[in-house]
């Protein structure tokens, strides 16, 4: 369990959470992350990292237990799901339209994090997998999120991309959770590492 300052409300709290598809013999998840925490959760393939990430986001429901988290959330899915026929700028404009509040100025900033401005008018489908991953990463910072979940964010990124990601993570005030298998290069993104098994 990781904890920092118990007086401010935690950004994420899991109490005796049992995930969907989890065998009854597997220990329940208990975990707490404070505002501003940056953690890398390492786990082997199939241990349940993506299931946990999706449960935190609300796509899957926990079978039992309590799960609480910050309201504003950014998420980078393992498999980016992007509108391939839409231009990069238009995609971000539509995301802004989806988001509550006035975050219009965020859009250019988020795009600049990963040098997307140069491809603003190109269709997403025309871009390489690496650039699509940059779009996938940039959208997570839209809407001033308090908690950002990154599921294997290093996928398809080149050295420049990894450098940009490292910088963005370092400068972000949000709570950041990265899920990744060991030895993929994600260890260089964040200093605090825990193993998935430590969450139980």
Task: Give least dist CB 100 to other proteins, A.
Answer: 6
DSSP string for residues in the chain: ---S-TTSPPSEEEEEEE-TT--TTSPPEEEEE-TT-EEEEE--TTSSHHHHHHHHHTSS--SEEEEEE-SSEEEE-SS----TTSBHHHHHHHHHHHSSS--HHHHHHHHHHTTGGGGTTSBGGGS-HHHHHHHHHHGGGTT--SEEEEESTTTT--HHHHHHHHHHHHH--SEEEEEE-SSSSGGGT-S-EEEGGGG-
Smallest separation (angstroms) from other proteins to the CB of 57: 7
CB closer to other proteins, 61 vs 200: 61
Closer CB to other proteins, residue 42 or residue 175? 175
Minimal distance, residue 130 CB to other proteins, in Å: 18
CB closer to other proteins, 123 vs 193: 123
Decide the pairing of beta strands 29-33 and 12-18: antiparallel
User: Measured from the CB of residue 163, what is the shortest distance to other proteins in angstroms?
Assistant: 26
* Between 42 and 49, CB nearer to other proteins: 49
Binding site for other proteins (CB under 8 A): 56-59, 61-62, 64-69, 71-75, 77, 80-84, 86, 90, 93-100, 139, 142-143
Q: Which is nearer to other proteins, 69 or 119 (CB)?
A: 69
> In the complex, what is the shortest distance from the CB of residue 58 to other proteins, in angstroms, rounded to a whole number?
3
């Amino acid at each position: 369990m990781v904890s920092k300052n118990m007086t401010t409300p935690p950004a994420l709290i899991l109490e005796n959470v049992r995930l969907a598809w989890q065998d009854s013999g597997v220990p329940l998840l208990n975990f707490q992350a404070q505002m501003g925490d940056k953690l890398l959760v390492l786990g082997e393939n199939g241990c349940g990292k993506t299931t946990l990430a999706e449960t935190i986001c609300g796509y899957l429901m926990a079978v039992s237990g309590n799960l609480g988290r910050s309201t504003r959330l950014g998420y980078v899915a393992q498999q980016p799901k992007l509108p391939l026929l839409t231009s990069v700028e238009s995609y971000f404009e539509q995301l802004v339209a989806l988001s509550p509040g006035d975050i219009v100025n965020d859009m250019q900033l988020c795009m600049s994090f990963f040098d997307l401005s140069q491809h603003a008018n190109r269709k997403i489908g025309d871009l390489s997998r690496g650039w699509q991953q940059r779009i996938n990463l940039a959208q997570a910072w839209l809407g001033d999120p308090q908690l950002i979940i990154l599921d294997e964010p290093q996928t398809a990124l080149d050295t420049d991309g990894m450098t940009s990601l490292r910088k963005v993570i370092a400068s972000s005030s949000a709570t950041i959770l990265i899920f990744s298998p060991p030895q993929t290069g994600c260890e260089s993104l964040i200093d605090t590492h825990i193993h998935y098994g430590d969450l139980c």
